[in-house]
Amino acid sequence: MLNHEVNKRFKDRIASGGALLLPGAANALAARVIEDLGFEAVYLSGAGLTNTYLGMPDLAFISLPEIAQHTATIRDATDLPIVVDADNGFGNGLNVRHTIRTLERAGASAIQLEDQKTPKRCGHFSGKEVVSLEEARSRIKAAVDARQDENTMIVARTDAAATDGLSEALDRAAAFIEDGADITFVEAPQTVEDLRAIPAALQGTPQLVNLVVGGKTPILSVDEFTRMGFSLVLYANVALQSALFGMQTALTQLKEQGQMDEDGPLAGFMERQRVVRKDLFDELDKRYAY
């Protein structure tokens, strides 16, 4: 499917109402699992990519070329819309323009930018700092101007709730909407009351809520978030955290027992081949045989 068709489908789905459950992927295999299980979209997590690709914490170690490479591999592996975490755009408005153009070419359906200073931190870490409102708005304006497909959505995230309070974060989100952001994302609200206040204050524009298992934001059901008025319910790293747990479990058993068979805590060989569509590549191999 052509990317502009995927983008249009995703934009229409967001506009249709009801919260969309959005799981994160750190690589193409995770995206394959997410599509196989019937989710409607996938989120390329900057934190997950940093953890998985570099084995490092989410402290601004990932660069634009690495995010673009993984966006492209996920686009090749799935027809799902991809929401791509582009951190703070990697610089000023000119850098943001380059970031948007690069990720849109790589296959992003929506691109998320935040208002943190460099080096940025995970939204659920302490010690975050945000740039001035003027600088933050310049990033969003540059992003909106840079996209080539009108259906590519710009997700404007603010981390100001942690530094200046919820009121400042809501004011920033409202300003980003004025600048053309399609979705806004107030990061790390810490109470149910704060959660309710976000869509109530920003009516008419889709809102994203980020749920980190073990993080700062209360975890509620998708139905509860729909009733509040949220459009996207993001679990950016459930797949990663469960994969880490699975690796620890299986490898502990391997170390303790000295062997592993099909009764172990792992997906079977044939299931692994099914998820990566080996049958498709077998058919292609026959088609192009000489």
Residue in 156, 98, 104 with CA at minimum distance from that of residue 131: 156
Unique residue bearing structure tokens 């729909």: 226
Q: For residues 117 and 129, is the Cβ–Cβ distance under 8 A?
A: yes
Residue 164 confidence (pLDDT): 94
> Tokens for 68?
């673009």
pLDDT-based confidence at residue 124 (cuts at 50, 70, 90): confident
Q: What is the mean pLDDT of residues 92-110?
A: 97
Written as six digits, the tokens of 217 are: 């934001």
- Count of positions (residues) in the chain: 290
Note the pLDDT of residue 122: 82
pLDDT computed for residue 116 by the predictor? 92
Average pLDDT of the residues of the chain: 95
pLDDT value of residue 80: 98
Q: Give the confidence band of 253 by pLDDT, cuts at 50, 70, 90.
A: very high
Q: What is the pTM of this model?
A: 0.95
